[in-house]
Homo-oligomer: A and B are copies of this chain.
Amino acid sequence: MWMMGYNDGGEFNLPDSFNGRKLRPLIPRPLPSTNNNSATTPPCLSRLHGTDFFSQYHHLAAVSEQNKMREFNTPPVVVSSRWNPTPEQLRALEDLYRRGTRTPSAEQIQHITAQLRRYGKIEGKNVFYWFQNHKARERQKRRRQMESASEENHRDIEILNRKELGASRTVFEVEETKNWAPHTNCSTLAEGSKSSCGYRMYDRWMDPIR
């Protein structure tokens, strides 16, 4: 359930526009690049040891403290039988993953668990399974992407007209308005204007065979 953040496909969303134009919601945007915890989080004096990887997640600890308090204050506490990572824990795990940790050894698991325990309840098996699941789901996601991309993509595809992609080819504009450019490869464009063939996203998608 907490892996919803990685599930990018499949859900169908309700339409947020009617008759074409979206109305202004007048809701202040949360400004995703700002940390809304930073105001309440004291500058935790974490030891500046160069060896403490996990100390950098202290700035998120306010949330878990809050949660802990709330957990204690609500009498009929329905404690989930399942581990749920705190933001700091999740953050640290993702960071480790990004930095290359895939299948941590027993010692690594113990180390990670011990370090992350200061952010909330956690066990070694949680760390173990987290890496298992994360690795598997990343791979799965990737595979699904490859599938959908390749299943229809590798036949002789008509290449879209790219005259407006920044390339300076006024010559083609007239004669190739209707018939699409026959698979122009990058080398022919490279000298003309570097911005046109700067490996743009759309070009790569539409013309993957180079």
A residues whose Cβ falls under 8 Å from a Cβ of B: 1-6, 8-13, 15, 17, 19-21, 30, 32-35, 38, 50-51, 53, 56, 59-60, 63-64, 66-67, 70-71, 84-91, 94-103, 105-111, 113, 120, 123-125, 128-129, 132, 135, 138-140, 142-146, 148-149, 151-170, 172-174, 176-178, 180-185, 188-189, 191-193, 195, 199, 201-202, 205-208
Whether the pair A180, B8 counts as a contact (CB closer than 8 A) is no
Task: Give A172's nearest chain B residue, CB to CB.
Answer: B50
Residues of B within 8 A of A8 (CB): 102, 135, 139, 166-170, 193
Decide if B124 touches A192 in the complex (CB within 8 Å): yes
Chain B residue numbers with a CB within 8 Å of A170 are 8, 50, 56
Number of copies: 2
What 18 additional pairs, Cβ within 8 angstroms, besides A20-B85, A33-B163, A90-B160? A1-B157, A8-B102, A9-B102, A20-B86, A30-B148, A32-B177, A50-B170, A51-B172, A53-B173, A84-B157, A99-B177, A103-B145, A105-B153, A106-B157, A107-B153, A108-B180, A109-B206, A124-B189
Known: A105-B148, A206-B106. A87 touches B158 (CB 8 A): yes
Can you sample 21 A-B contacts with CB below 8 Å?
A4-B142, A8-B166, A8-B193, A10-B192, A11-B193, A13-B97, A19-B91, A32-B174, A64-B156, A66-B154, A71-B154, A90-B156, A99-B177, A100-B177, A100-B178, A106-B157, A107-B183, A110-B160, A123-B161, A123-B192, A129-B202
